Structure 1
Amino acid sequence: MRDRSKPPGVGAVIGWTALAAIAPGAAHLRAGWRRTGLAILCAYTVLLLALLWVGLTSDLAALAGQLIASSGLTGVTVVASLALGAAWFALIVHSFVVMNPGTLPSTGQAVAGGVAGMLAVAVLLPFGLVGQYVAASQSAVDDIFSAPSTPRPASSGGGEDDPWAGRNRVNILLLGGDADTHREGVRTDSINVASIDVKTGSTVLLSLPRNLENVRFVPGSPMAKRFPDGFRLPANPDGSREDLLFAVWEYADSHPEIFGGRKGQGTKTLIDTVGYTLGLKIDWYALVNMWGFARLIDAIGGVMLTVPQDVVFGKYNEGLVKAGTRKLRGADAMWFARSRTNSDDYTRMGRQRCVLGALLSQSDPATVLSRFNQVALATKELLRTDIPRPMLEHLVPLALKVKNAKVTSVQFVPPLINTGYPDWSKIRTVTAKALRTSAVTRRPLSATAAPSATPKATTTRTPRPGTSTAAKPDPTAPKGITEGCG
């Protein structure tokens, strides 16, 4: 039965309506709608407890991965979000109505009605944004992850519920190209493999130079039969070469006769070649359009970078990225990473590593959410990959681990490697060592050998005059991804 006590004033109507936005049913209880108010309040409490239980007992990263991987679940989420928003909107309107605003003076009715309307719209907006964000991410995922399902990584003892089939690491080939997005054959100016520990997210970024010569192909493959002594073609009239690692994809695409007439073999050829070079099994690849990468940097508002010295760029050296530490826009960040003027390929590789490290460390969740639509649009223009959509359920949680884990890098450049006459065995040995080091650094301290109870006697040697006692850096040791970036 309704309470027929003295009607509340303007302040009370506004206050109880506002309280109903965070404690649904409060206005109904105040107005005497006890059964309705209690029912709404109980339903709200049950919903909060259910959400709390999900948050405490579930892997939220895995849930996010499932949401992205499943188009059906995404649709349900959008509909549920919009329906819940509409219900909350109606609840605010009804809470205002039961407070009997018609008894207020005309001015009070206008004020209270205006505030109630703004409250109703305000509670609707978050649900609408959630629906919009989910729909935008769905569109981006549909465009990017359109590859057919492929077999899971080769098993090494994992159970059926293990998406990695017992493997400790997943290897993803990360390629950067500057070709138009509609061009199939592409020159891969940036060639990296991210080897990720599936338990901890610890990652080793293995960078191969674009100008690696005499590239060896997988024994028995069509390219190996064509180039048994390594990838070698006549030099161009100006002395430049097109038989370097960066040209493998385009060459394979341009010569289907090598593959018995099959077209579009560039992707697989480069994946197999890079894997063979490093001694790894590459699981998937992701090709990044470098200028799409610039748009992604703009979408998150730029990245803070240290430019050690002026970087000149452009066909006529008309562009300049000035030295200093500041936030760079996407175009300037890309020219900093890619300019060849007064730079060799190895310097460029180092600058690319710095840009990648800055993007990885500065793209925090709050920034991404605040610019979600721009990020989703930029990502659609950025990426091409053969990662099957069902694997996103497992890769999204793994990506969150990488965000908070240690990322090291190894660059196969001089003096470590002579790019003109590469030591292939050394490349594989250094790769294996870097992966072992990454695995050791993630182990707890108790897993290391305990020190001896009785220290061994040591002999102190006096260094010769003019010699240094400092240990020389190990060129094969992996480095932090932002080491040397200022």
Structure 2
Amino acid sequence: MARRTERVGTGAVLGWTLLSVMVPGAAHLRAGWRKTGLALLGAYAAMLLGILALYLVYGVALVGTITASATWVNVVIAVTILLGLAWFALVVHSFMVMRPGALPQNGQILTGTLAGLMAVVVLAPFAYATQFLVSTQSLVGSVFRETGEEVEAGEKPRTEADPWAGRPRVNIMLIGGDADEHRPSVRTDSMNVASIDVATGNTVLISLPRNLEYVRFRPDTPMAQKFPDGFRLPPDPGGGRSDLLNSVWEYADAHPELFGGRKNMGSKVLADTIGYTLGLKIDWYALVNMWGFARLIDAIGGVTITVEQDIVFGKYNEGLVKAGTRKLGGADAMWYSRSRTNSDDYTRMRRQKCVIGALLDQADPATVLTRFTAIAGATKELIKTDIPRPMLKPLVPLALKVKNAKVTSVQFVPPLIKTYAPDWEKIRTITAKALSDSVTKRPLAASATPDPTKSPKPSATRSTSPVKGLTEGCGTL
């Protein structure tokens, strides 16, 4: 079939060129380039069907599959760049086949300028996607280790078909590290365990106080042999103590001789110790630098928090976070969660929980995408973890489940426990009950129904239950 040679107007040239951006081949078919137009249209349809098939087969797991492998990320980056260049060339060629040279001079200038602008605009989303992927590659490569993990004796190995090794929950120790350039190791300022149900994403955030005394270690470990009656050292010269739970990491790092000369055992020892305390198997840890966390909050644009009362901070009480509901930047959010002035460790733990809850609620996908480069830059300075990169394949979809799942919390603080004389069995019993209750449709504190035959006060269970919603108790002036 002969190609059409009739002239088209300025509007038609621009209209068909613009249509080709969304329907490749449209301008070619209009201009009589039948074979080329059908080929472009067929390739476009095949690409859309391929993307749809990948989504239907893999769903959100596809994101985890890609990020788990540096090779796959590089492949996607290359494909994105090629697609961007191809779309740029498509706009230019679609414009040319519409024979703009047959237009009057003013029409040629106008259509040429606008078509060139179209080509540049078409490149923009591909450029952003490439930047996003490059930032992802840099972030994942710097935070997660490439190698797999050692399988301890008697444990079932993780496989692609069974990444959780047959266990119904994943337990990740979340540590807030009070890093200091003058301190050779890490002082763990806050210690939490996120226990996630792999089927539903329902999560229990369990918090342990930093000042827990007489910490017990798993039997037959070097620390248990050194401290058979619990972690206890002579008082510091100033009367303070360096044998509380927040000192375990630092102590283990400082005494490699206990571990046959192996260095940097602090994270492993603390994970095992907290796991033993709660009656859990800790899978991995994530150490969060507290002031790096402030940079992350700034990167997402701040968090909106209701400050219950004025929070004073600073060495000489020179800072103030005023009471009221407002969006806090990173520094103020950190002082809100960390200040001990006119407060105690347990109130501070509650405020830290409120900040975590606000982040979980407010860091929506749109915010993360639009601010991803800043978030990625802050996160590289923020997190240290032993999670192997290949585990991102199942963990990314699980994290998306958690975003929309039920999140409850348990804080082991007085009067629930005595930090100077902990009831270890009570801690394990409460932990097990909280995990069991988390698989129900509603949190324990909200779902407990009074027995009508006994007529208890409706608020009795709520007031005495150690299990709370993550943001329960937050935001009350």
TM-score (norm 2): 0.93
Whether the 8 Å CA contact 2:151–2:157 is kept in 1: the answer is: no
The match for 1:210 is: 210
Q: 1:158 to 1:76 in 2, by over 3 A?
A: closer
Using the TM superposition, name which of 149-158 and 266-275 deviates more. Answer: 149-158
Give the 5 Å matches for 1:147-158: 148-151=147-150
**Letter matched to residue 79 of structure 2:** A
Q: 1:157 to 1:132 in 2, by over 3 A?
A: closer
SS of structure 2 residue aligned to 1:58: helix
Q: 1:79 to 1:429 in 2, by over 3 A?
A: same
The match for 1:100 is: 99
Give the 5 Å matches for 1:16-415: 16-55=16-55, 57-146=56-145, 148-151=147-150, 161-180=161-180, 185-415=185-415
Which consecutive residues of structure 1, in runs of 5 or more, have no partner in the other structure? 449-455
1:162-220 deviation digits (Å, cap 9, x = unpaired)? 11121111111000012048976100111000111011101111100001111111122
Give distance in 2, aligned partners of 1:316 and 1:278.
38
**Pairwise CA distance, 1:109:** 1.3
Give distance in 2, aligned partners of 1:368 and 1:182.
34
**Letter matched to residue 59 of structure 1:** Y
Whether the 8 Å CA contact 2:80–2:126 is kept in 1: the answer is: yes
**Pairwise CA distance, 1:151:** 4.1
**Letter matched to residue 246 of structure 1:** N
Using the TM superposition, name which of 128-137 and 335-344 deviates more. Answer: 128-137
1:264-313 deviation digits (Å, cap 9, x = unpaired)? 12111111111111111111100001111111111111111110001111
Give distance in 1, aligned partners of 2:259 and 2:219.
15
Whether the 8 Å CA contact 1:147–1:385 is kept in 2: the answer is: no
1:82-107 deviation digits (Å, cap 9, x = unpaired)? 00111111010001111111122222
Q: 1:260 to 1:42 in 2, by over 3 A?
A: closer
**Pairwise CA distance, 1:336:** 0.5
Which consecutive residues of structure 2, in runs of 5 or more, have no partner in the other structure? none
Query: What percent of counterpart residues are identical?
Result: 64
Whether the 8 Å CA contact 1:155–1:164 is kept in 2: the answer is: no
**Pairwise CA distance, 1:321:** 0.7
SS of structure 1 residue aligned to 2:119: helix
SS of structure 1 residue aligned to 2:304: strand
Give distance in 1, aligned partners of 2:61 and 2:212.
39
Give distance in 1, aligned partners of 2:402 and 2:297.
19
**Letter matched to residue 220 of structure 1:** D
Give distance in 2, aligned partners of 1:181 and 1:19.
59
Give distance in 1, aligned partners of 2:466 and 2:310.
29
SS of structure 1 residue aligned to 2:381: helix
Aligned with residue 483 of structure 1, among 463, 472, 476 = 472
**Pairwise CA distance, 1:384:** 0.4
TM-score (norm 1): 0.91
Q: 1:479 to 1:16 in 2, by over 3 A?
A: same
Give distance in 2, aligned partners of 1:176 and 1:275.
17
Whether the 8 Å CA contact 1:147–1:386 is kept in 2: the answer is: no
**Letter matched to residue 202 of structure 1:** N
Whether the 8 Å CA contact 2:416–2:466 is kept in 1: the answer is: no
SS of structure 1 residue aligned to 2:320: strand
Q: 1:181 to 1:43 in 2, by over 3 A?
A: farther
SS of structure 1 residue aligned to 2:460: coil
The aligned length equals 468
Aligned CA-pair RMSD: 2.4
Give distance in 2, aligned partners of 1:157 and 1:279.
21
The match for 1:453 is: none
**Pairwise CA distance, 1:331:** 0.9
**Letter matched to residue 281 of structure 1:** K
Whether the 8 Å CA contact 1:336–1:351 is kept in 2: the answer is: yes
SS of structure 2 residue aligned to 1:439: coil
**Letter matched to residue 361 of structure 2:** S
Whether the 8 Å CA contact 1:171–1:195 is kept in 2: the answer is: yes
**Pairwise CA distance, 1:157:** 11
Whether the 8 Å CA contact 1:29–1:37 is kept in 2: the answer is: yes
Give distance in 1, aligned partners of 2:385 and 2:458.
49
SS of structure 1 residue aligned to 2:440: helix
